[in-house]
Amino acid sequence: MGNELAELMRRSAGDGPSDQVDVGAVLTAGRRRVRRRRAAAAGGTAALVATALVAGSLLTVVAGGSGGPDAAERELEPVGRVLTLADARAGVPGEDFRVLTSLTNENLDQANGRYLSGVTDDGLVLVTDGPRTMRNETRIGLLDPAADEPAWLPGGPQQVSAPIALTEERLVFYGPGARSSGSPVLVFDRSEGTWTRLRWEGLPRAEVQAVDARGDRLYLALDTGGEIRQFDLWSVSLSDPGDVRNEQTVVGDFDITGDLLTFTATHNEPNDRVHVRDLASGEEWDFDPLSGDRCNQLGLQRIDDLLVLSQYCGTRDDVRDDRVQVVTDRGDPVVTVQGDGLEAGWTAGSVVLVESYDRDEGGAYAWDPGTGELVRLSDRISNFGLGGAVPAGSELLMWHTPLNRRHGAEQHLATWLD
């Protein structure tokens, strides 16, 4: 059986840890360091927006903009500081990072394996084994990095695909099949030890472009037949299947971290607007990230007050122009990592993870906002889209390297050392 779960999670026999690590302490200390490392950019290019309640719907009214150049006038070259992979220094285990646990699959071309698929908010590693059998069922467990084996969840193997949210209260997964609004979501209640399959009949039937979670709600970007590469944002309750809400917002890529909803104007085409909305207070602002009028917007992540934008800016002389652009959430440019065949990796806790498939400079890299350095974690990356998200504000990150002439892979979960 092919490595179906790994492919679903792309872009989206465990070895013991090197020493005893309190992951809870790592999470707490990481959040403290992130809060201390707030970006010190003055002013910024953001413009606040007003909101008006019109005919019962909350509409966003833009008051001004960034004041930057029009999209047609913007240059192709990135703004601000630019790094290439050649600027990276080799990372030093024990000084830059410490590996907490690793997991090896010798031949994923032959059969599905066991994977490290994310980290819960309380520091346990999600382990998924499968899918296996004709029913495509996956065994799911939680691993303390100090232990050799995960604690497998009750209820036996489940028909799940990728995880959506891994909190202290619940684990939320996509169900089997195509990702449409009519497909089920499976929820494991950690305190009760029970599984629930949820559907929301009030959602319009559409393909789910992306999904994120905030507390008891899931936010879904639905392709409901509107403008190409723009999606309608809806939200649903995880405790009440009748609680379905049209957020009256059109998004490209989006991210929810804490109370902040961040979204681009478009996906997979040039983007000249990033919006940030505080879901608690209702405050909203927007800015032009100055990505250029030839760069397709492909992905969005938030790390503290930094936004990470993945872009493809064309191919010239057989060389791809791929970029990972970092700006503050007020629009100030910070850094752009530029190269052939690179992209932002899974969201890390406090560093920007960059993956490169370049023949000469391929591997996993971490850009550290605290030092401004680009650090090389590995000199190769596997063929499989492995890994998962880690808690926001932690010092954790994940990457993967090839084994067995690229038929297999080894995953690594590490803590970044300030």
Say what percent of the chain tops pLDDT 90. 74
Note the pLDDT tens digit of each residue in 125-179.
Answer: 999 999 998 889 999 999 999 898 999 999 999 999 899 999 999 999 999 876 8
Q: What CA–CA distances, in Å, run from 264 to 31, 77, 247? A: 26, 20, 15
pTM for this model (two decimals):
0.82
Beta bridge partner(s), residue 104: 410
Note the pLDDT tens digit of each residue in 215-254.
Answer: 999 999 999 776 668 999 999 999 999 999 999 999 999 9
Under 8 Å CB-to-CB from 228, ≥6 apart: which residues?
none
Note the pLDDT tens digit of each residue in 361-413.
Answer: 899 999 999 999 999 999 999 999 899 999 999 999 999 999 999 999 999 99
- For residue 12, pLDDT over 90 is answered with no
Whether the Cβ atoms of residue 370 and residue 83 lie closer than 8 Å to each other: no
> Rounded CA gap, 158 and 361, in Å?
39
Q: Is 93 left (phi over 0), alpha (psi -120 to 50) or beta?
A: beta
- For residue 29, pLDDT over 70 is answered with no
Q: What CA–CA distances, in Å, run from 73 to 76, 226, 299, 322, 389? A: 9, 27, 23, 21, 37
Whether the Cβ atoms of residue 327 and residue 309 lie closer than 8 Å to each other: yes
- For residue 255, pLDDT over 90 is answered with yes
- For residue 66, pLDDT over 50 is answered with no
